[in-house]
Amino acid sequence: MIYKGIHHIALITDDMDKTIRFWRDLLEMRMLAATGDGRNRQYYFEICENAIVSFFEWPEAMNPDEKLHGEPTKKPLAFDHVAIGVENDEALKEMKNLLESAGFWVSPVVDHGFIHSIYSFDPNNIPIEFTTEVKGRSLREIPRMSDRNISDIAREGHGPQPGKRPAPQPGKPKRGQPTG
């Protein structure tokens, strides 16, 4: 199997217009498609050549409470945050200034060793990280296993382990057809 990246991640908004203003107009991401069937709408924004973010508009949806990135919670969630790569530290500073000048909260720059990051939220309270890789420390160049409580399965290595594929789960209910 050869993967080409995540084509798109589909998120939820209760207001497509505020979402367009943030993703297209503030972050300057090209809106690639505006689809809808009268029941719901899904709009796509180009992050870069190999990455797209999309939003379903569900006016009845309730935006999540603001939750800091990586902070544990007992509330039901589908994901923690979206991380978007930028070119370098200067671009990271420019993004911080852009977001703050538009009235959005932005964290200080955080040095994770292999990446530098800032954290913010879009108008839907979706946690966003903007990050740039540190040259010579990229996870793609130097994979890491620094978990203090690493499991035996993770200890097997970075790559797929032959003969270790999960067995099918008999009796699991089948779900409906995906819409996006």
Domains and CATH numbers, the chain: 1-62 (3.10.180.10), 66-144 (3.10.180.10)
The residue type at 155 = R
Print the SS3 string covering 7-72.
CEEEEEECCHHHHHHHHHHHCCCCEEEEEECCCCEEEEEEEECCEEEEEEECCCCCCCCCCCCCCC
**Coil/strand/helix, residue 82:** strand
User: Which range (77-81, 103-107, 113-117) has the least confidence?
Assistant: 77-81
Binned at pLDDT 50, 70 and 90, residue 4 comes out as: low
Helix (H, G, I), strand (E, B) or coil at 89: helix
Higher pLDDT, 109 or 49: 109
> Distances in Å between the alpha carbon of 112 and those of 6, 22, 27, 46, 134?
23, 27, 24, 26, 9
pLDDT for residue 166: 74
Q: What is the three-state SS of 102-154?
A: CCCCCCCCEECCCEEEEEEECCCCCEEEEEEECCCCCCCCCCCCCCCCCCHHH
Containing 100, the helix (H) or strand (E) segment is: helix 89-101
For residue range 37-85, what is the model confidence (pLDDT) as tens digits?
877 789 999 998 888 899 988 888 887 778 888 888 888 766 778 889 9
pLDDT at res. 21: 93
pLDDT confidence tier of residue 122, bands split at 50, 70 and 90: very high
DSSP 86: -
Choose among 26, 30, 22: nearest CA to 47: 30
How much is the pLDDT for 27? 92
